[in-house]
Amino acid sequence: MSSPSPQADSTLTTSVLADNPSGMTLEGTNTYLIGDPDAETVVVVDPGPAEGAEQHLEAVLEAAGDRRVELILVTHHHGDHTGAVDLFAARTGAPVRGGSPDWSRGAAPLVPGERIPAAGVVITAWHTPGHTSDSFSFALPDDGAAGSVLTGDTVLGRGTTVIDHPDGTLADYLRSLETLIALGDATVLPAHGPVLPSMAQVGTIYRNHRQQRLDQARQALAGLEEGQRNAASIDELARLLSHTVYPDIDERVRPAAVKSLSAQLAFLENESDEG
């Protein structure tokens, strides 16, 4: 398969789509190149999966043109984002920075809220856990009139994201959405799916959706017999209730839905304990 053409997503970013479409990754993973158009270097975000990495790297380097890769950033540890990290680092000589030491190469892990000057721009690294504990989003306040933000899997271009319980938690996710909503009308540059306008608008939709899912989980719990509620673990409860809360979901992504439901049930359990 030939590599997709680079997509100019904003004034300061271009994306190259990895060839890894699936029910979870949508059309595939978007690898972003960040840089001022006049800069001599670029920053690469999310090198993509191990499968097809050589071809994807060539497509990314072609999109970079004569600009050197100065830095590689990863939004979180999942393999469809980090599988090609070592290949990209070896071929470009660029350091890699992620939210944990496991995904940093030749540089320190990301610090929440730090400002990273690179490729003629300033990138703000926001820690936005929830999808995973090490999830980061990268804001570009000077990208167009309202700025832009690379959201990784915290906000997708279509549908909603998975809370990867127990590593990800719903409490963290809801707090992260508030962080992103505060960016106002920044353009949303997701790791999967199309570019979206207005982070505040999209984030509010995501927040309302999570509250609706919590209401559904409460109702499903209320419909269980007492013995079922008390005897099962959170994960067992989630599997039991998933067909009630997600009756029409594509079975290929049901395991991911069960993880999100586990996160909802854990959130409700903590809410009950605090009450």
The DSSP result for 8-36, as a single string, is: EEETTEEEEE-S--BTTTBT--EEEEE--
Residue 168 counted as domain residue: yes
Q: What is the pTM of this model?
A: 0.93
41-45, strands of its sheet edge to edge: 7-10, 13-17, 30-34, 41-45, 68-73, 96-97
Residue 225's pLDDT is what?
Answer: 67
Q: With a cut of 70, list the residues of the chain below it in pLDDT.
A: 1-5, 225-232, 272-275
Whether residues 90 and 141 share a domain: the answer is yes
Whether residues 161 and 219 share a domain: the answer is no
Residue 272's pLDDT is what?
Answer: 63
Residue 111 counted as domain residue: yes
d(CA 145, CA 152): 22
Q: What is the DSSP letter of 110?
A: P
Residue 159 counted as domain residue: yes
| Residue 102 burial class via C-beta count within 10 angstroms: exposed 0-12, middle 13-18, buried 19 and up | exposed
Instruction: Note the pLDDT tens digit of each residue in 93-123.
Output: 999 999 999 999 999 999 999 999 999 999 9
Whether residues 87 and 187 share a domain: the answer is yes
Of all helices (H) and strands (E), which one includes residue 72? strand 68-73
Supply 190's token pair.
């997701």
Whether residues 41 and 176 share a domain: the answer is yes
The count of structural domains within the chain is 2
Whether residues 69 and 90 share a domain: the answer is yes
Whether residues 130 and 255 share a domain: the answer is no
Residue 161 counted as domain residue: yes
Sign of CA dihedral 159, 182, 11, 96: negative
Residue 120 counted as domain residue: yes
Domain encompassing residue 192 = 7-198
Give the number of C-alpha atoms closer than 13 A to the C-alpha of residue 90, restricted to the C-beta side.
6
Whether residues 121 and 222 share a domain: the answer is no
d(CA 38, CA 150): 21
Which residue, chain included where needed, has tokens 């999570």?
A: 210
Residue 203 counted as domain residue: no
CATH code (residue 105): 3.60.15.10
User: In 3D, which of 176, 186, 70 has the Cα closest to residue 132?
Assistant: 176
The torsion angles phi and psi of 16, rounded to 5 degrees, stand at -125, 125
d(CA 162, CA 78): 12
Whether residues 192 and 214 share a domain: the answer is no
Whether residues 158 and 225 share a domain: the answer is no
d(CA 186, CA 70): 25
Whether residues 93 and 190 share a domain: the answer is yes
| Residue 11 burial class via C-beta count within 10 angstroms: exposed 0-12, middle 13-18, buried 19 and up | middle
Residue 176 counted as domain residue: yes
Residue 68 counted as domain residue: yes
Residue 1's pLDDT is what?
Answer: 44
Which of 176, 198, 220 is the last residue in one of the domains?
Answer: 198
In the three-class reduction of DSSP (H, G, I as helix; E, B as strand; rest coil), residue 200 is classed as: helix
Of all helices (H) and strands (E), which one includes residue 224? none
Which of 140, 172, 198 is the last residue in one of the domains?
Answer: 198
d(CA 211, CA 192): 23
Which of 163, 178, 198 is the last residue in one of the domains?
Answer: 198
Whether residues 182 and 235 share a domain: the answer is no
Would you say 144 and 9 are in contact if contact means Cβ atoms under 8 Å apart? no
Whether residues 229 and 162 share a domain: the answer is no
